A = this chain, B = another copy of it.
Amino acid sequence: MATDTVQPTPYDDPAGATSAEGSTSATTGAATSGADLDPTRMQAILDGRYAEVRDLVRSNLVEFADILTDAETLSVDDYRDRVRDLLLEMAASGQTGMGFPEEYGGGGDVGASISAFETLAYGDLSVLVKAGVQFGLFGGAVLHLGTKHHHDRYLRPLISGELMGGFAMSESGHGSNVQALRTHATYDPATQEFVVTTDGDLGRKDYIGNAARHGEVAAVFAQLHVGGEDKGVHAFVVPIRERGEDGGLTPAPGVRIEDCGHKMGLNGVDNGRLWFDEVRIPRTALLNRFADVTPEGVYESSIDNPDRRFFTTLGTLVQGRISVGGAGLGAAKVAITLGVRYGDLRRQFEAADPDREQLLLDYGMHQRRLLPLLARTYALHFAQEKLVGELHLMSGVTDDESRQRELESRAAGTKALATWHATRTIQECREACGGAGYLSANRFAALKADTDVFTTFEGDNHVLLQLVAKGLLTGYASEFEDMNQLDMARFVGELAVETVIERTSVHKLLERIRDVLPGFDDGEPEAGLADPDYQLAMYRFREEHLVSGVARRLKRGIDAGHHPGAVFSRVQDHVIAAARAHVERLVLEDFTAKVAGLEDGAERDALRLLRDLHALSGIEADRAWFIEHGRLSVARSKAITREVGELCRRVRPIAVPLVESFGVPDAMLRSPDLLDERLLAEEPTR
């Protein structure tokens, strides 16, 4: 489309040169221009094996594009009903049931299921989140925590959307600390029932999707009491509404329901609060995959340790986190598509040409603001692809505990990075679109408001990164599942530091890093910046250093007799930094592997440019740390900053095809003011 309007940047830094051939740029690859980058081919790479599924979702989104305006014009109740109706339509197309077993009418393909969900994020996000609640959370609980009895009874109607359900885990008092939930379910052997009760307003279920209006049942997480003993948190299917003879829904006896009311965004999702007042449910309502209660009231479980049972239960829900991360990325793709396309159409101020205003995206600052975000969107896309592939192989659960834990850790970390990236990208692109970006018609309003909660739901990002750190520090030890943060601090404190380092998978790479790193800093400051071995060695070094540093600090504090919890609090920012560094390394590894696996051509050249931009702007952002830890000379640090600027200029001509490759349907971009060439492509001013 608009790439033919791109003007070459006529000025080159004295240190640079006018063509790629003669450039001293370290990241010179084959010449890449907008002309030979075909968005269709790049989209095929991005869509991967699930191109067909993604296209099905794209066409559904276009068919129901009116929902984007309905979101602004309908009353809250009508909007909610409209979202529900649309969900039923999409369910009928098969799009939302792909992750369920074929014998129940599902698609039997977990990877396809998540790819569909990611693509759904191009559209109205209430539809997305309602789908997540119904098919991911509620459906996932029944599928993964229930057994054949529950599957037979619930899967078909929930896949079709005929039976709407909630996922009642969070309470007002506890979101992150699920083990401390206050709702309890007490087994009554006399009637062979569980009695579910809310313990005070702190124990009310809160923010529960499908609770305020459409849900008939909910997967309720509660402390299981059997024979006077607390067996920890378990999940139960509890009816929350009854259907009357007229088809209308009313709260079930003993259930009190309150609407959470207006929210910052996602107002098409009916979030509510639930109180249970001695609600009796049959013994078979316990989702009994990992534990059961006999009719006589004997508790039985294949997993002895209660902490491990709890974490195993939560672990089966990993798909939710992977889905949210992918959804955040989808929203970021919409935002960066708008930001880049607007920057390639909108002119403001005469700069290079006194007779014509300059395109925003030809300004150096504008490139600096947007293009590293574009590169990072690609990077996270391939990391997400890898993660989904791994989940697909394991089909959600595996007997290989260590592999399962690594998947959970990776899911947690990717979710944190992807959702923060979405928040940041949407904000930066909104600002880069000026006043027009503020109008609801132009998409950013909904994107910003709807995605805001992604950073804190399905696990607060900081809490998730602590989970990642726990795995790193304990080397996914067998005790891993059993530990809270206090135990973890204690555990690490009791080890010799060397043991911790030995345990981390990172340690194995240490030797290789030492081989690669020093050579580069001796030579020219630009040398090797585009070498993936160099980039990865830097990321690995940072991770290894931060992880072992945390271990040392924990141990030192505990050896000195301080309280492990207080020690942990004190090193908490270090813990988070270590976890981040770990996930960043994984992301870069995946991007590098992806590029290495492609055939030569314009797409590979473009992706290599993006990988360099992503890798080096990541080092640039943290260059203080690298300098402080002897891994970067000042000269090389400055060279990296120059190189990031140079890479931005080289990505600029292909920026539009690169965003077109995400395949966001035009109807999902809306944005009459942002993308209307008539309003933007100003005639020459003089």
**Once bound together, how far apart are the Cα atoms of A461 and B177, in whole Å?**
40
A435 touches B452 (CB 8 A): no
How far apart are A206's CB and chain B's nearest CB, in angstroms? 7
Q: Does A201 contact B (CB under 8 A)?
A: yes
Name the residue on B nearest A444 (C-beta).
B264
B263 touches A351 (CB 8 A): no
Q: Does A252 contact B (CB under 8 A)?
A: no
Q: Does A14 contact B (CB under 8 A)?
A: yes
Measured between beta carbons, the chain B residues less than 8 angstroms from A452 are 430, 438, 448
Name the residue on B nearest A424 (C-beta).
B427
Q: Name A569's contact: one of B72, B354, B358 (CB within 8 Å).
A: B358
A351 touches B569 (CB 8 A): yes
Q: Does A449 contact B (CB under 8 A)?
A: yes
Q: Name A440's contact: one of B10, B172, B264, B569 (CB within 8 Å).
A: B264
Q: Does A645 contact B (CB under 8 A)?
A: yes
Measured between beta carbons, the chain B residues less than 8 angstroms from A72 are 261-262
Tell me which of A155-163, A374-382, A556-564, A583-591 binds B.
A556-564
**Once bound together, how far apart are the Cα atoms of A355 and B480, in whole Å?**
22
Measured between beta carbons, the chain B residues less than 8 angstroms from A437 are 456
Write out, one digit per residue, whether chain A residues 542-575 have a CB within 8 A of any chain B CB (1) or not (0).
0000000000000011001011011111111101
State which residues 577-631 of A face B: CB under 8 Å.
Answer: 623-624, 627-628
Q: Name A352's contact: one of B201, B265, B569 (CB within 8 Å).
A: B569
Measured between beta carbons, the chain B residues less than 8 angstroms from A460 are 431, 434
A634 touches B645 (CB 8 A): no
B456 touches A174 (CB 8 A): no
Q: Does A170 contact B (CB under 8 A)?
A: yes
Q: Does A510 contact B (CB under 8 A)?
A: no
Q: Does A64 contact B (CB under 8 A)?
A: no
Q: Name A445's contact: one of B263, B362, B455, B645 (CB within 8 Å).
A: B263
A576 touches B365 (CB 8 A): yes
Given contact pairs A173-B679, A434-B460, A627-B634, A566 touches B351 in the complex (Cβ within 8 A)? yes
Given contact pairs A180-B685, A435-B456, A13 touches B262 in the complex (Cβ within 8 A)? no
B172 touches A365 (CB 8 A): no
**Once bound together, how far apart are the Cα atoms of A368 and B570, in whole Å?**
10
**Once bound together, how far apart are the Cα atoms of A632 and B675, in whole Å?**
46
Measured between beta carbons, the chain B residues less than 8 angstroms from A565 are 350-354, 358
B264 touches A348 (CB 8 A): no
Measured between beta carbons, the chain B residues less than 8 angstroms from A260 are 439
Q: Does A441 contact B (CB under 8 A)?
A: yes
Write out, one digit per residue, whether chain A residues 421-461 have a CB within 8 A of any chain B CB (1) or not (0).
00100010011001111111100110011001101110011
Name the residue on B nearest A75 (C-beta).
B75
Measured between beta carbons, the chain B residues less than 8 angstroms from A350 are 484, 486, 565
Given contact pairs A357-B177, A624-B624, A453 touches B438 in the complex (Cβ within 8 A)? yes
B441 touches A456 (CB 8 A): no
Given contact pairs A11-B563, A645-B573, A484 touches B349 in the complex (Cβ within 8 A)? yes
Q: Does A485 contact B (CB under 8 A)?
A: yes
A264 touches B445 (CB 8 A): yes
Q: Name A453's contact: one of B435, B453, B568 (CB within 8 Å).
A: B435
B11 touches A263 (CB 8 A): no
Write out, one digit per residue, whether chain A residues 168-191 have a CB within 8 A of any chain B CB (1) or not (0).
001011111100100000000000
**Once bound together, how far apart are the Cα atoms of A556 and B12, in whole Å?**
11
**Once bound together, how far apart are the Cα atoms of A570 and B423, in whole Å?**
28
Measured between beta carbons, the chain B residues less than 8 angstroms from A628 are 627, 634, 637-638
**Once bound together, how far apart are the Cα atoms of A174 and B392, in whole Å?**
50
**Once bound together, how far apart are the Cα atoms of A470 and B440, in whole Å?**
34
Q: Does A44 contact B (CB under 8 A)?
A: no
Given contact pairs A11-B557, A177-B357, A207-B435, A462 touches B365 in the complex (Cβ within 8 A)? yes
Q: Does A202 contact B (CB under 8 A)?
A: yes
How far apart are A508's CB and chain B's nearest CB, in angstroms? 28
A440 touches B261 (CB 8 A): yes
A572 touches B363 (CB 8 A): yes
Q: Does A89 contact B (CB under 8 A)?
A: no
**Once bound together, how far apart are the Cα atoms of A539 and B180, in whole Å?**
48
**Once bound together, how far apart are the Cα atoms of A180 and B430, in whole Å?**
23
B456 touches A434 (CB 8 A): yes
**Once bound together, how far apart are the Cα atoms of A484 and B685, in whole Å?**
15
**Once bound together, how far apart are the Cα atoms of A645 and B457, in whole Å?**
28
How far apart are A89's CB and chain B's nearest CB, in angstroms? 25
Q: Does A9 contact B (CB under 8 A)?
A: yes
How far apart are A583's CB and chain B's nearest CB, in angstroms? 17
Measured between beta carbons, the chain B residues less than 8 angstroms from A153 are none
How far apart are A221's CB and chain B's nearest CB, in angstroms? 15
Q: Does A673 contact B (CB under 8 A)?
A: yes
A11 touches B202 (CB 8 A): no
Q: Name A177's contact: one of B348, B363, B444 (CB within 8 Å).
A: B348
**Once bound together, how far apart are the Cα atoms of A177 and B358, in whole Å?**
11
**Once bound together, how far apart are the Cα atoms of A557 and B435, in whole Å?**
33
Write out, one digit per residue, whether chain A residues 205-244 have a CB within 8 A of any chain B CB (1) or not (0).
0110000000000000000000000000000000000000
How far apart are A473's CB and chain B's nearest CB, in angstroms? 16
**Once bound together, how far apart are the Cα atoms of A680 and B171, in whole Å?**
11
How far apart are A464's CB and chain B's nearest CB, in angstroms? 12
**Minimum-distance CB pairs A-B, first 10:** A11-B566, A264-B445, A624-B624, A351-B565, A262-B440, A365-B572, A11-B562, A352-B565, A364-B572, A623-B624
Q: List 6 A-B contacts (CB under 8 A).
A: A11-B570, A14-B556, A170-B435, A201-B678, A260-B439, A438-B452
Can you add 7 more A-B contacts, CB < 8 Å, to A431-B460, A449-B449?
A11-B567, A175-B348, A176-B348, A176-B434, A365-B462, A365-B575, A445-B449
Q: Which residues of A contact B (CB under 8 A)?
A: 9-14, 72, 170, 172-177, 180, 201-202, 206-207, 260-265, 348-354, 357-358, 362-365, 368, 423, 427, 430-431, 434-441, 444-445, 448-449, 452-453, 455-457, 460-462, 484-486, 556-557, 560, 562-563, 565-573, 575-576, 623-624, 627-628, 634, 637-638, 645, 673, 678-680, 682, 685
